[in-house]
Amino acid sequence: MRPFEDVRIVDLTHVLSGPFCTYQLALLGADVIKIEEPVHGDYMRRRGSDNRLRERHMGDHFLSQNANKRSLAIDLKDPRGASLVRRLAVDADVLTENFRPGVAAGLGLSYEDLSADNPGLIYLSLTAYGGGGPQSGRGAYDNVVQAAAGMMSGTGVPGSGPLKTGTPVLDYASGAMAAFAVASALFQRTHTNRGQFIDMSMQDTAILLMGTAVMNELHGGKTHKPHGNDHALAAASCYEASDGELIMLGCCTQTQFEQLCRLLDRDDLAADPRFRDVNRQDPYRDELVAELAAVMRTRTAREWEASLADTVPAARVGTLRETLTSEHLEGRGVLQKLPETAGAGAGITVPAAAFSFAEDGPRIDRSPPVLGEHSKDILMESGLNEADIATLVRDGVVATPVVSSD
């Protein structure tokens, strides 16, 4: 039995951070009911690189984080739609939402509204800046929060100006942190028999991701600046090899530095009074960089990786394609194939979880849903009859599938 197989989640989140949270819980067995707007559904249904999938509202960006979920398409702006969510929340363990603060309350779907009927409900509110403070009413996506939080000011190379990261790391990190928060609250409930309100902020997540920079700013008097591929330690920086490719070193400890010098046939560097103590190399960093750069230019990046990586942290700077097609990744299980998917076909590979269990760990059982694929089933489970549902569909409050599997 997987950890969350007896947990039901009513998921009002959309785009990336919230859906990634519930995706991780769904991989571990949670019954996630994905509430979507009935005409177009989650915005990510129309995002991705495959135009065919986007036109079918099954964009590959949607497919990457919505397996194992059931889709219920509801118009929350209609009072009857919001009432359906309240009905589902009575028997739910968790409700997740990533509206701006105040939106859920305006729909009658606040924690106070729902916990009155379900005191054991765990309610996650995942927003850009949190539920309180001067910025709380602002909406934002990953790139905007990176800008606001100061992440961009430390990303790039000297002279480049602030840059955002190449992937939406805050969305994924916030989603992972949110999944941890929900799991923690579920565990806490086993002791208290009470639910919990979780106030989750993407900007707060950014502060955690910049922990060392935060400490440098607060206690070291060092401004967060871009350093590119350089590191404070010369032996943990990036160097050009003889073929023009790059090799990244990660020798941060005394032992690793001494091992590196030995492998480079430069024991003299480890013995040099300027460099022999890694914690006192700062005044001589440029000199050590020059010594290491000269050595690294004598062999190709692949040759250096082959001779170094089994002993000290080192890797050739490769491409994502190389990693995705590597024998190592194939055996890890982080990539899994989706079952036959309506509107998308078979054989689509997506990222799953970054960990495995010896038994009953994360896995994909169900394809990402077509918009409204499970509307009828979920509403009948909640006690509605077919006539009630037909009326809701006729009035546009609820939607059922419109995408074929061909």
- 69-78 burial code (b ≥16 CB/10 A, e <16): bbbbbbbbeb
Instruction: List all residues 6 or more positions away from 337 whose beta carbon is below 8 Å from its beta carbon.
Output: 347, 348, 349, 350, 364
* Active site annotation includes 231: yes
Report the distance separating Cα 356 and Cα 332, nearest Å.
Answer: 8
- Measure the CA–CA gap between 200 and 173, rounded to whole angstroms: 12
- Pairing mode, if any, of strands 238-240 and 398-399? unpaired
Say how far apart CA 193 and CA 158 lie, in whole Å: 53
Give me the half-sphere count of Cα atoms (radius 13 Å) on the Cβ side of residue 385: 1
SS3 (DSSP) at 321: helix
The CA distance from 131 to 7, in Å, is 26
Regarding beta strands 314-316 and 238-240, do their DSSP bridges make them parallel or antiparallel, or are they unpaired?
unpaired
Q: How far is CA 128 from CA 37, 101, 210, 248, in A?
A: 21, 10, 17, 33
Please identify which of the residues 57, 231, 328, 374 carries the catalytic annotation: 231
Query: What is the C-alpha separation between 69 and 63, in angstroms, rounded?
Result: 11
Nearest to 89 by CA among 124, 130, 131: 124
Count, residues in the chain:
406
Task: Name beta bridge partners: 198.
Answer: 124
What residues are annotated to the active site? 231
